[in-house]
Amino acid sequence: AQKVTQAQTEISVVEKEDVTLDCVYETRDTTYYLFWYKQPPSGELVFLIRRNSFDEQNEISGRYSWNFQKSTSSFNFTITASQVVDSAVYFCALSEDKGYSTLTFGKGTMLLVSP
Amino acid sequence: KAGVTQTPRYLIKTRGQQVTLSCSPISGHRSVSWYQQTPGQGLQFLFEYFSETQRNKGNFPGRFSGRQFSNSRSEMNVSTLELGDSALYLCASSSTAETQYFGPGTRLLVL
């Protein structure tokens, strides 16, 4: 069975600080996909990134970067120079390659960025 | 392209009633998935439909059901509502078995 663990329940930072959100996953499949979603107070899950299991290259998109390490089954997310608008709940999710989409989510990390 | 839309956005029901939620996927997307989000259980997968066929189902009682129409729009139904069914119900669509894009959700309160 697959599982996603986000050990950090809540993180509080001051604006402009860097913050890393941790994600550890478990799966028996060799082909799988990892995702990060952002959920602002409005409730909608906003897609941030998707990584497949064969692509361990780190990715940077503006202030966001992701570090995928298969050796430690981790897919961590770093926000550089955080802003108040980054305040939200962030979810890491896993999908196995079975021909259909079923996401297994972690419990989420609430990020609070204060001015 | 318009995003995933869900109606209604908010709903209040009483125990024992039934409810139907609707989801319109992104144009061209044929897969629709439903998730339930509660403070205690987090985000849990309900079911997934593709071309009017249910391809996968989560671990929920039979009171939860769904269907998909030929235009890919989907509905989910919950019968005999219980207090524990109060949740945010999220619908997601995808064009392939890859990235799912979510709608704004329907907040259901059961009294």
How far apart CA B27 and CA A28 sit, in angstroms, is: 34
Beta-carbon separation of B43 and A105 below 8 A: yes
Closest CA to B5 of B21, B32, B22, B24: B24
Cβ–Cβ contact A41 with B under 8 A: no
Q: What is the DSSP secondary-structure string of chain A?
A: --EEE---SEEEEETT--EEE--EEE-S-SSEEEEEEEE-TT-PPEEEEEEETT----EEETTEEEEEEGGGTEEEEEESS--GGG-EEEEEEEEE-SSS---EE---EEEEEE-
pLDDT bracket for residue B97 (50, 70, 90): low
Beta-carbon separation of B99 and A102 below 8 A: no
Beta-carbon separation of A101 and B31 below 8 A: yes
Q: Which tens digits make up the pLDDT trace of B40-60?
A: 999 999 999 999 999 999 999
pLDDT bracket for residue B31 (50, 70, 90): very high
Chain A interface disruption, residue of B74, B93, B98, B109, most A CBs within 10 A: B98
Nearest by CB: A101 against B44, B100, B107: B100
Beta-carbon separation of A44 and B56 below 8 A: no
Beta-carbon separation of B48 and A45 below 8 A: no
Nearest by CB: B42 against A35, A37, A105: A105
Q: So what's the pLDDT on residue A59?
A: 85
Average pLDDT, chain B: 95
Q: So what's the pLDDT on residue A101?
A: 75
Q: So what's the pLDDT on residue A97?
A: 75
Contacting residues of B for A104, CB less than 8 Å apart: 45
Nearest by CB: A100 against B56, B88, B101: B56
Beta-carbon separation of B43 and A100 below 8 A: no
- pLDDT tens sequence for chain A (115 residues): 899 999 999 999 999 999 999 999 999 998 999 999 999 998 899 999 999 898 888 888 899 999 999 999 999 999 999 999 999 999 999 998 777 778 999 999 999 999 9
Contacting residues of A for B55, CB less than 8 Å apart: 99-100
Distance from CA of A54 to the nearest CA of B (A): 14
Beta-carbon separation of A47 and B90 below 8 A: no
One-letter amino acid of B17: Q
Check: CB of residue A101 under 8 Å from CB of residue B97: yes
Three-state helix/strand/coil letters over chain B:
CCCCEEECCEEEECCCCCEEEEEECCCCCCEEEEEEEECCCEEEEEEEEECCEEEEECCCCCCEEEEECCCCCEEEEECCCCHHHCEEEEEEEECCCCCCEECCCEEEEEC
